[in-house]
Structure 1
Amino acid sequence: MIATVRRPQPLRFFFRYISIVGSSNVRHGRPKMALPELPPVTSLSPRVLRVLGCNPSVMTLQGTNTYVVGTGRRRILIDTGEPNVPEYIKNLKETMDKYNFELEHIIVSHWHRDHIGGVSDVMDAIGNKTDCKVWKFHPENEKKRVYKFPINCPINSLKNYQVFNTEGATLKVYHTPGHTTDHVMLTLEEDKALFCADCVLGEGTSIFENLEDYLESLQLILKLNPVVMYPGHGSVINNTVQRVNNYIQHRIDREREIIKILSEHPLQTMTIKDFVDVIYKGISKKLQEVATISVVQHLLKLKKEGKVLEIDDHWKINTKSNL
């Protein structure tokens, strides 16, 4: 008998990213895709520079993408990478010198270590630390976070639909929960571009802590209809609508897979581990936690819709539901 896996508390897991698209990609416990190489610094448009976070891993892909936005003497930095990465700070400072600008705002897309972790290092490296403002969205009623790395500056609270103007660029904030409760994306109005952070990745799919919120955030991207998306990890996304629709379809397919597994054995119940073992056969131990979170979120959504039942941490199909 397979031991019961109790429902995880999502934020206690390493809630970052996964380059695994589906179960077929994890049959042997490792991603099969070959990631394209990204230069340390890239000019993506006259208004956007990408400075790679120099922290590649199976969870961060080529590393965290940080973006410098604007054309003038004072510009905006989106995300800051991980703490204690001297190579990133060196590349950022050299970029600032080359293009002759300083930072007036730092906007953090969400609370994960590889997005907010480098804030203090960046602030220590710039010459105008006293007048550069750091911003992050703080959801109502959310407890104050305690980070395991220093944050040596005030964090100002972003507002939904807040607008930032700098020379050559207008950024608008959209609160897009799902990946995390505090996750935001930003539109670059002049280019009809979207900094989508970890809602959509350049390669693979993202993990989420609330599936319903996540799907709503994906629908918002379709409404915004950006020409190009700059993700928190991976390559620039040009086929924006197709990519988002693929993300939505992937979640639909996963839901159907779970329903199919339960429907084939309507009198039996399954643990979370049972689902992970079937759907993600052969997955490495390190990625089992991520897969578990994904399965749990799908089951919670299906339970809310009345399609499945939970009985003492076991799950079964609701035979009375009109699937």
Structure 2
Amino acid sequence: MSTIIPKITQLSSRVIRVLGCNPGYFTLQGTNTYIVGTGKQRALIDCGEPGVPEYIETLKGVLKDRDISLSKIIITHWHPDHVGGTYEVLNNVTGKDCKVFKYKNTKNDPLYSELFELNYLNDEEEVELEGATMKMYLTPGHARDHLSIHLKEENTLFSGDCILGEGTVVFEDLLTYLKSLDKIKSLNSEKLYPGHGPVVDDPIAKVEEYVRKRMARENDILAIMRKADSFLTTMEIAEGIYVGLPTSLMFGAEHNVRMHLEKLVKEDRIEAITIENVPKEKTHNITKYRLKH
């Protein structure tokens, strides 16, 4: 049974979790946003999705009840369930003097930079405010601009969507993602405050669990390819692994399989061919994969 996450939780003397009120298959009970610091002016990590009045009212209530305000917003990555609500937070909660920070992403930042000013952070840069020193660590893989944020006073880490409190994550580059997991493990934090789900009390065990799951899935893929001993599409492999999975969830499953296949191609363990002008395919091209002989 999933841990029930309240709308508002005081996690430590420096951290208040405010649930984004946007439950869903990929967001679990909702996006975790975090108020950080001990002074009158504090930072907010992530802003949830756009168009969620319940979150805006909840956030306003927390600030009013504690007689605090927000001077900084730090975005872990560009995905809409983390940055999408920023415009509404700025216009309904903080005022426009609040500065928004994230790692630069030239491909996706234009989706938001016309709505509000973005201030860019560098890998290992520190952001300070009363009671909190936050060090940024670039941890791409789930997203190219993903930041994990180390709270030095607690030795805790805001892990965004690199690591969740429950379940696993999708990623856009598996090799890069595994390197980011290694970086998170090397920080040896006492706790993880994830982008979704409950607090992770044993970060090293969680990272090792994630790596085991990825390697187990890789072994599943290789087993199907050995058995077939021929070129297979991503969907053919996914259907062999995720037997009985509802069609609505197969897109995500196929995506994860494709990421594993791209990793294996980079490692020169399998080969890929692109067949052009395939009938009934929307792109008229399709890629197939086979073990290297």
Alpha-carbon shift at residue 130 of structure 1 (Å)? 3.4
Secondary structure in 1 aligned to 2:153? Answer: helix
**Equivalent of residue 301 in structure 1, options 251, 258, 263:** 263
Aligned mate of 1:118, from 54, 79, 85: 85
Correspondence for 2:7 among 37, 40, 48: 40
TM-score by length of 2: 0.93
In 1, the alpha carbon distance for the partners of 2:63 and 2:80 equals 23
Counterpart for residue 17 of structure 1:
none
Question: Does residue 314 in structure 1 map to residue 278 in structure 2?
Answer: no
The 1-side partners of 2:273 and 2:113 are apart by 43
Aligned equivalents of 2:143 and 2:190: distance in 1?
25
1:67, 1:302 → 2: CA distance? 37
Equivalent residue, structure 2, for 1:285:
247
Q: Note the aligned Cα RMSD (angstroms).
A: 1.4
1:265 aligns with 2:228: yes
- How many angstroms does 1:302 deviate by? 0.7
Residue 45 of structure 2 contacts residue 74 of structure 2 at CA under 8 Å; is this kept in 1? yes
Counterparts in 2 of 1:74-223, with a 5 A limit?
A: 74-127=41-94, 129-139=95-105, 142-147=106-111, 152-223=115-186
Q: In structure 2, list runs of 5 or more residues that go unmatched.
A: 275-286
Q: 1:287 to 1:150 in 2, by over 3 A?
A: farther
Change (3 A) 1:224 1:242: same
Please list every run of at least 4 consecutive aligned residues from structure 1 whose deviation after the TM superposition is greater than 6 angstroms.
Answer: none
| CA deviation map 1:58-114 (0-9, x unaligned) | 110010000000011000000000011111011101100111111110001111111
**Shift of the alpha carbon at 1:233?**
0.2
Cα distance in 2 between the residues matched to 1:74 and 1:281: 51
Q: Output the CA distance in 1 between the equivalents of 2:110 and 2:238.
A: 31
The two structures have a TM-score, normalised by structure 1, of 0.84
The structure 2 residue matched to 1:225, chosen from 185, 188, 212, is 188
Q: How big is the shift at 1:145?
A: 3.9
Contact 1:57–1:63 at 8 Å: present in 2 too? yes
Q: Distance in 2 between matches of 1:248 and 1:51?
A: 29
How many percent of aligned residue pairs carry the same amino acid?
A: 42
Alpha carbons 1:119, 1:151 under 8 Å: kept: no
Pick one of 24, 40, 47 that aligns with 1:73.
Answer: 40
Query: 1:275 corresponds to which residue?
Result: 237
My pick for the range that moved more, 278-287 or 189-198, is 278-287
Query: 2:116 aligns to what SS in structure 1?
Result: coil
- Which structure 1 residue ranges, 5 or more long, are not aligned? 1-33
For 2:205 and 2:108, locate their aligned partners in 1 and report how far apart those are by CA, in whole Å.
37
Query: Displacement of 1:150 after TM fit?
Result: 9.0
**Aligned 8 A contact 2:56 2:93 in 1:** no
Q: Distance in 2 between matches of 1:157 and 1:150?
A: 11
Task: Give the number of equivalent residue pairs.
Answer: 281
1:300-320 deviations in whole A, cap 9, x for unaligned?
Answer: 11111111111231111112x
Q: Give the C-alpha shift of residue 287 in structure 1.
A: 1.8
Contact 2:78–2:108 under 8 Å retained in 1? no
Task: In structure 2, give the amino acid aligned to 1:152.
Answer: L
Larger mean CA deviation between 274-283 and 231-240 belongs to 274-283
Higher relative contact order (CA 8 A, sep 6+): 1
> Does the Cα contact within 8 Å between 1:271 and 1:315 map onto a contact in 2?
yes
